[in-house]
Structure formats: structure tokens, C-alpha cells
């Protein structure tokens, strides 16, 4: 067998392993429940209703634009799709390796796939949520703009960043349990430091800079522009974001492979 | 393509004890400032090569470094020093079912495990019927693994690993979970695979299996290879390893024998030395002031060769060398226990109504036992005692349990003279008492 041949079969095997593991992870999230497949669909739907009623009707949230409570709910929900995608991965990364000691000690397992599986599973959840958003929008407000069709592009562009975080955090999570407290706090803070419940326009000037430093701000804004306003994202900004996070992901991967030989001792 | 599939060169593995996990990580990143507090060497200077189609046993006591070595060969552990080269697909049964997910069904796990072993999904699905048939777990294949018994998990795990066509198979004491018949079936299957070029690395404490199954053996002690070569010699090393730990010095015989004038002193001394060198058990210290005590115990087969492995129904000779120093007769007794610690048989001079010599010196007691007991590993204990009434005695000395004594039988292919724990003396006959013709 040529070297190239063996590499390509290996890649193919990794891919089918990845698919199999993601399937497992996805089905696990609702397996054994009575609701079954309803949950991945029902959860975002319930969220949509709760946020619309609570923030749109009860709190009368000030968006910065004069829309109906319903429109506010949808704007908010679109931001949450991005945030939840991020948070779901972020919270799980530190736990990944510690939760699968057998994969480290007992069998030869490509551990670097674990964060990828988490990301893919969360991506499926986010895509379902996006579909529900579109369906809800079409029913209640009007047909979404054509750009909604390519809005998953934003979700996909987050993958390199999540990979970078995944490979780094899974190692740190193995070293110290404290990281779980930190990620918990961090996601709480991030929920409010990202313009999800508000528009970026109502943020005071002196704070705007800091809010903009948060990469999620950019992503949420772009996602919203595509879903609601039919505006294409700035390709330059997006490609810079993808490029930078890809470089980081590469470094993180290198770091992960470098230290992975010590996992057996660390676990 | 070279015929050597596993080549291990100067491999050492040390476990570093660090102050914290953080220091450990820094060290692994190349920051030599974070020095380990202590190094524990699990393996030292291991060198060996294994060729295609060989079945090699790795034996040694607990903590000898067997598992570390296997983990290094599988690739889950990196050696601290030295190189390991493995040519071929390694499939390891380090801990059965460790790649399984308890929530998934047997079927899903088989697919997942097959992928982990480097097969494509089509290949796994193609082999699935064969795997299912070999595991013999019936409808359970579609139930979650968490509902399985450990034996069922083991059956399924073994079936996947073996039928996924590995080039090199590593088995770490894994078969001991399965029932006897499944073990036999696995061993028979492995034998067939070996003939087809499978390289097998086998770790077991069951010396009977090691002897019957492997071409050669590597005996590890304290992280080093103490012996590498023929299976029988390696097993001998294994059994003598305990003595080495116990006996620092060979007892020196100075006693003058009385009442044995017909034998020369030299030949008596030879007799004593032979028991000691053949011994499976030996006293830690031995001196004349110690009173009555057991010096050494050797076990021979029917041909008079020191052995600890017998075929069911074989005669086993136990030779006990002891020192008597008592005015009353000193009886020798034996206790045979099975794996579970159940006493299978006790025998000895007092059971046989023999009269021991009343001496102040060395004596030998020979006991022959016919091993009509079921196949398995047994342990033995020898005691010295004074008669104190029917079925009672006062203990003077005891060896404690040692062994194993293996009784072998190929239950798969050969008709056994009996089934169950003992072979009772039996006879029988047929009589026709009514015929339709």
C-alpha cells in the first residue's frame, strides 16, 4: 500500500468514525426519554415562545428599533442560536477527556476527535433551531429573506474557533477541575456581554469597544442581518475571522498532539 | 516485507511522581525545570522481537510490568526510553469492553468498535453475522450493553476483536471472564488464526494455557526480562520467582543422619540437595535449632520430573523434606484447595496410618495422589503435626498455600472420564429388561 493510499483510507475511516460518534452523541441527548426525537425540536420551539413572551411582552425590551414584541422575540432568538451553539460546546470541552477514561487508557482512540464530535452535535442542534426560527418567522411574520438560506454559513464559520477552544480546554479540563467553575461563570457573563437581548446600537459609546472585542458580537450581528434584514455579511471581516481562528486551531491542535502522550498519566 | 512484526529496543518506562498535574504538563511540554519528584521504573531495558505467526506469552507476577509493556505495544502509553516498532494492525483486549458505550446496543457498539479498530463501516457490516454467531448472545445483541452480564460483554468484545481480522492480537488475562466452554472455543479459534499468520501476545497467570498455547515466553520480573525463550523454562522461572523472593540462602545441611548407615553421606546429601533444587516451596530459613519444620517441598510427575502441571487422572508425587526434632512422631499432611479456596482433599501420613520415624534429623515423606479432580488450578499446603486423637492434630509447622498446581483437560475435544469436581470411583452396567422385538 502506498503512503498516500494508507493516509486516505485512514482519513476515510476517521470520517466514518466521526459520523458514527456524532450520531451516537446526538441520539444519546434524547435517548431513553419518552419525548424522544421531540426534544431536539421542541426545546428551541419552547425557547422561542418563552423569550418572545417574557422579553417581548412582559419586559417590553427596548431593541433600538420599533418592532412588535413578536419581532423582538425573533431577533432575540436568532442571537441565542449563535450563543447556544457556542455555550453548548464551551461547557462540554473541559469535561470531554475526563469523562472517557477508557478512550485514553484502554484503547487506541483518536482523542482529538472528541471536541469535533461535540461541535458537530451542537451544530446539528443549532441548525435545527435555525430551521425552526425560519419556519416560525414564515408563519407569524412573513417569509424570511433569501439570505436566511445561507445563514448557516455563520455557524460553520465558528467551527475553527470552537476547535481551537476545544483542543485547549479539553487539556486544561484534565489538569484542574476549577475550569468548570470558570467556564460556567464565563458563559453567564457572555450571555449578557453579547448583544443578544439588546442591539449594539443602544450600547453606550465607551462600552461599545469592549463589546465589539467579543467575537460573538460580530457573529450575532451578522447572523441577524442575514436572517432578518437580508444583508450579506461582509466577506472581508468573515474571512479574517475564519483565517485567524484557523491559525489558532492549528496551534491548538499541535499543542493537543504534543501533550496527548501524557494523558494516560494525567487522568 | 520483514518477518518481524514487533520489535522492542531498549525500552524503559518510568512513571514520574510530580507535585501537581500542572508540573507534569509543563514537563511534557519540554520545560525541564519542572522536575519530577521521584521516578518509578516500571520497565527497564526491554529488548525482544516477535515474528509473524508467533504466539508469545508474557508472564510474571503482579507488578512485574506486563500491563505497562502491553500498553506500550498497543500505543496507549509512550515509552520513556527506547523504540517500539509494530508492523501491522494491533488489536488489544486489555480490558474487555472498554471501548463499549453502555447506552448503545450491542449492534451499535460492534460497529463503533470495528471503526475504532480501523475497519470501514462496510467491512464491519459484512462481518457482522459472523461476529454475532461467534458471540452467541442471541437477541441481546439489540439491547443496550448496560443490560449485559460481564460474561456477555466479554463474549461480544472478544468476538469483535478477533473477527475484525487483526494482524497482532494482544490478550491480557481477558479470557478468564468467559465460561469454560467459551474459553475453549476462543482458544481453538485463536489456534486456527495463529496458523493463518496471526501474531499473538498472551498474558495469563494460567500456566496450563500458556504452556499449551504459546511457542515461547518472556518472563518479566521487577520490570526486566529475566528469561526469554522456551515456554517450559520460562514457566519454571516463573514458579521459582517466589522462592527467590523468599529464600535468601540455601539451607546448609550439617546434620549427621542416624539409622541410615546403608546410604553414603554424599548420596543422602545429594538427595536433599535434589529436593531443594527441584522444590516448588522452600523455607525461608533453616537451622537445626529451629525444631521440627518443613525444609522444602518438591512435586514430581509419574516420570519423576519436577512439574506443577498434570493431566487429569495423572499421578502426582509430593516429596516433603523436613526436619524432625521431637520425642513424639511427626506426621506430614497435605491440603489441596481449588481456586475458590474450597478444600478438595486432605491427606498425609496420619490418614494413611503410617508410622513416622522418631528421629532428630532430616527425613523425606513421599505422598502420591491421583488427580481425579476437574481441570483447573489448585493450591497446596503442607503441614507438620503431632497426633492428638482421631482426625485431630497439633500443628507444628505449615508451608501455607503455594502453587498453582494445574490440572489440565481438553474438555472441548477429549471425552473426560468424569464431569464435576471429583471423579468418584464408579462402575456400571446395562441390562435389557424389555424389548419390542
Domain locations along chain A: 34-266
Is cis: bond before B404, omega within 30 of 0? yes
Q: Which residue of A has its CA nearest to B110?
A: A20
Q: How far apart are CA A262 and CA B27, in angstroms?
A: 10
Distance of CA A18 to the CA centre of its chain: 18
What pLDDT score was predicted for residue A240?
92
Q: Which residues from chain A sit within 8 angstroms of residue B91, using beta carbons?
A: none
Burial of B273-312, coded b for 16+ CB within 10 Å and e otherwise, reads eebbebbbbbbeebeeeeebbbbbbbbbbeeeebbbbbbb
pLDDT in tens, A209-223: 888 888 899 999 899
Q: How many Å lie between the alpha carbon of A20 and the closest alpha carbon of chain B?
A: 7
- Give yes or no for residue A3 having a pLDDT over 50: no
Out of A13, A16, A106, whose CB is closest to B95? Answer: A106
| For range A221-245, the mean pLDDT | 88
pLDDT given for residue B30 in this prediction: 64
pLDDT on residue A245 = 94
pLDDT of residue B93: 66
Q: Taking the complete model, does pTM exceed 0.90, yes or no?
A: no
User: Using CA atoms, how far apart are residues B153 and B143, in angstroms rounded to an integer?
Assistant: 12
Q: Please give the DSSP secondary-structure letter assigned to residue B350.
A: T
Task: Give chain A's mean pLDDT.
Answer: 83
Residue A168 contacts by C-beta under 8 Å, 6 or more apart in sequence?
A252, A255, A256
Please check the confidence at residue A89 and state whether its pLDDT lies above 90. yes
pLDDT at A226 over 70: yes
| pLDDT score recorded for residue B249 | 34
Q: How far is residue B84's CA from residue B179's CA, in Å, rounded to a whole number?
A: 35
- The structural domains of chain B, ordered by start, are 4-241 (3.40.50.300), 251-408 (2.70.50.60)
Helices (H), B60-216: 66-74, 106-116, 121-135, 150-163, 180-195, 207-213
Confidence of residue A244 (pLDDT cuts 50, 70, 90): very high
Using CA atoms, how far residue B11 sits from B43, B63, B79, B85, in Å, is: 7, 17, 6, 11
Min Cα–Cα distance to chain A from B189, Å:
23
pLDDT of residue B177: 63
Nearest to B25 among A10, A107, A262 (CB): A262
Any idea which of A57-66, A213-222, A227-236 has the lowest mean pLDDT? A57-66
- The number of C-alpha atoms within 13 Å of A260 and in the hemisphere containing its C-beta is 22
Interface of A with B in 88-117 (CB under 8 A): 102-109
Dist CA B263 CA B243 (whole Å)? 30
The predicted pLDDT at position B241 comes to 66
Give me the average pLDDT of each 10-residue run along chain B (437 residues).
80 78 68 67 88 87 84 82 83 70 85 82 87 86 87 85 81 69 79 84 79 84 86 77 44 39 67 84 67 87 86 91 84 86 86 86 90 88 87 84 85 84 87 84
Of A81, A71, A89, nearest to A196 by C-alpha is A81
Query: pLDDT grade, residue A108 (50/70/90)?
Result: confident
Query: Counting Cβ atoms within 10 Å, is residue B130 exposed (0-12), middle (13-18) or buried (19+)?
Result: exposed
Q: Is B154 helix (H, G, I), strand (E, B) or coil?
A: helix
The Cα B387–Cα B391 span in angstroms is: 8
Q: Is B48:B225 a contact under the CB 8 Å cutoff? A: yes
Q: What is the 3-state secondary structure (H, E, C) of chain A?
A: CCHHHHHHHHHHHHHHHHHHHHHHHHHHCCCCCCCCCHHHHHHHHHHHHHHHHHHHHHCCCCCCCCCCHHHHHHHHHHHHHHHHHHHHHHHHHHHHHHHCHHHHHCCCCCCCHHHHHHHHHHHHHHHHHHHHHHHHHHHHCCCCCHHHHHCHHHHHHCHHHHHHHHHHHHHHHHHCCHHHHHHHHHHHHHHHHCCCCCCHHHCCHHHHHHHHHCHHHHHHHHHHHHHHHCCCCCHHHHHHHHHHHHHHHHHHHHHHHHHHHHHHHHC
How far apart CA A141 and CA A133 sit, in angstroms, is: 11
Whole-angstrom distance, CA of residue B34 vs CA of residue B327: 68
Q: End-to-end alpha-carbon separation of chain B, Å?
A: 70
CA-closest candidate to residue B310, choices B238, B211, B383: B211
B195-249 pLDDT, tens per residue? Answer: 888 888 888 877 777 777 788 899 988 888 888 888 878 877 777 665 544 433 3
In this predicted structure, what is the pLDDT of residue B96?
66
Q: Enter the ipTM.
A: 0.72
C-alpha cell belonging to residue A179: 475550569
Residue A177 forms contact with B (CB below 8 Å): no
Tell me if B115 and A16 make a contact (CB, 8 A cut-off). Answer: yes
Question: Do the strands B376-387 and B281-282 form a parallel or antiparallel pair, or are they unpaired?
Answer: unpaired
Amino acid at each position: 500500500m502506498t503512503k498516500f493510499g494508507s493516509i486516505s483510507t485512514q482519513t476515510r475511516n476517521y470520517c466514518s468514525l466521526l459520523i458514527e460518534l456524532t450520531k451516537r452523541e446526538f441520539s444519546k441527548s434524547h435517548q431513553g426519554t419518552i419525548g424522544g426525537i421531540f426534544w431536539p425540536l421542541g426545546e428551541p420551539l419552547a425557547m422561542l415562545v418563552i423569550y418572545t413572551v417574557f422579553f417581548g411582552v412582559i419586559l417590553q425590551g427596548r431593541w433600538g428599533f420599533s418592532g412588535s414584541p413578536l419581532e423582538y422575540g425573533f431577533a432575540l432568538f436568532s442571537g441565542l442560536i449563535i450563543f447556544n451553539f457556542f455555550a453548548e460546546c464551551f461547557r462540554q470541552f473541559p469535561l470531554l477527556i475526563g469523562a472517557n477514561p477508557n478512550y485514553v487508557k484502554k484503547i487506541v482512540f483518536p482523542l482529538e476527535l472528541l471536541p469535533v464530535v461535540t461541535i458537530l452535535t451542537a451544530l446539528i442542534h443549532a441548525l435545527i433551531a435555525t430551521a425552526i426560527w425560519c419556519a416560525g418567522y414564515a408563519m407569524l411574520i412573513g417569509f424570511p429573506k433569501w439570505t436566511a438560506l445561507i445563514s448557516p454559513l455563520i455557524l460553520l464559520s465558528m467551527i475553527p474557533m470552537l476547535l481551537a477552544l476545544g483542543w485547549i480546554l479539553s487539556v486544561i479540563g484534565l489538569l484542574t477541575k476549577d475550569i468548570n467553575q470558570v467556564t460556567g461563570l464565563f458563559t453567564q457573563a457572555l450571555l449578557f456581554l453579547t448583544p443578544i437581548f439588546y442591539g449594539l446600537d443602544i450600547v453606550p459609546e465607551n462600552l461599545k469597544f469592549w463589546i465589539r472585542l467579543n467575537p460573538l458580537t460580530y457573529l450575532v450581528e451578522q447572523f441577524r442581518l442575514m436572517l432578518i434584514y437580508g444583508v450579506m455579511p461582509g466577506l472581508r471581516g468573515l474571512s479574517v475571522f475564519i483565517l485567524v481562528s484557523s491559525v489558532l486551531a492549528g496551534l491548538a491542535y499541535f499543542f493537543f498532539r504534543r501533550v496527548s502522550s501524557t494523558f494516560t498519566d494525567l487522568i | 516485507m520483514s518477518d518481524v512484526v514487533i520489535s522492542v529496543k531498549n525500552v524503559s518506562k518510568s512513571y514520574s511522581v510530580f507535585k501537581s498535574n500542572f508540573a507534569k504538563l509543563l514537563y511534557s511540554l519540554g520545560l525541564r525545570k519542572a522536575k519530577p519528584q521521584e521516578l518509578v521504573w516500571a520497565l527497564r531495558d526491554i529488548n525482544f522481537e516477535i515474528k509473524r505467526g508467533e504466539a508469545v506469552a508474557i508472564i510474571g507476577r503482579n507488578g512485574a510490568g506486563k500491563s505497562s509493556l502491553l500498553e506500550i505495544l498497543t500505543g496507549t502509553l509512550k515509552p520513556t526510553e527506547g523504540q517500539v516498532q509494530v508492523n501491522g494492525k494491533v488489536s488489544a483486549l486489555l480490558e474487555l469492553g472498554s471501548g463499549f458505550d453502555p447506552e448503545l446496543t450491542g449492534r451499535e457498539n460492534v460497529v463503533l468498535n470495528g471503526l475504532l479498530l480501523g475497519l470501514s463501516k462496510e467491512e464491519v457490516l459484512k462481518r457482522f453475522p459472523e461476529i454475532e454467531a461467534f458471540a452467541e448472545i442471541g437477541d441481546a445483541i439489540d439491547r443496550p450493553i448496560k443490560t449485559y452480564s460481564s460474561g456477555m460483554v466479554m463474549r461480544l468484545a472478544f468476538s469483535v476483536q478477533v473477527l475484525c481480522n487483526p494482524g497482532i492480537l494482544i490478550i491480557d488475562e481477558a479470557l478468564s471472564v468467559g465460561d469454560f466452554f467459551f474459553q475453549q472455543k476462543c482458544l481453538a479459534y485463536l489456534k486456527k488464526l495463529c496458523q493463518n499468520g496471526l501474531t499473538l501476545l498472551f498474558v495469563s497467570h494460567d500456566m496450563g494455557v500458556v504452556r499449551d498455547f504459546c511457542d515461547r515466553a518472556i518472563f518479566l520480573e521487577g520490570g526486566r526480562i529475566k528469561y526469554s525463550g522456551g515456554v517450559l523454562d520460562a514457566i519454571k522461572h516463573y514458579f521459582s520467582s517466589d522462592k527467590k523472593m523468599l529464600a535468601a540462602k540455601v539451607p546448609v545441611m550439617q546434620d549427621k543422619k542416624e539409622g541410615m548407615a546403608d546410604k553414603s553421606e554424599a548420596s543422602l546429601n545429594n538427595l536433599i540437595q535434589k529436593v531443594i533444587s527441584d522444590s516448588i516451596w522452600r523455607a525461608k530459613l533453616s537451622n537445626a535449632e529451629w525444631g521440627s519444620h518443613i525444609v522444602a517441598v518438591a512435586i514430581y510427575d509419574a516420570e519423576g520430573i519436577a512439574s506443577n502441571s498434570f493431566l487429569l487422572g495423572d499421578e502426582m508425587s509430593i516429596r516433603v523434606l523436613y526436619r524432625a526434632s521431637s520425642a513424639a512422631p511427626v506426621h506430614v499432611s497435605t491440603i489441596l484447595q481449588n481456586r475458590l479456596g474450597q478444600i478438595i482433599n486432605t491427606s498425609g501420613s496420619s490418614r494413611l496410618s503410617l508410622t513416622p520415624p522418631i528421629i532428630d534429623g532430616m527425613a523425606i515423606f513421599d505422598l502420591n495422589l491421583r488427580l481425579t479432580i476437574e481441570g483447573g488450578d489448585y493450591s497446596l499446603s503442607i503441614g507438620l503435626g503431632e497426633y492428638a486423637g482421631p482426625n485431630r492434630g497439633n500443628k507444628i509447622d505449615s508451608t501455607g498455600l503455594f502453587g498453582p498446581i494445574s490440572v489440565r483437560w481438553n474438555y472441548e475435544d477429549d471425552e473426560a472420564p468424569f464431569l464435576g469436581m471429583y471423579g468418584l470411583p464408579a462402575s456400571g452396567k446395562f441390562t435389557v429388561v424389555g424389548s419390542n422385538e
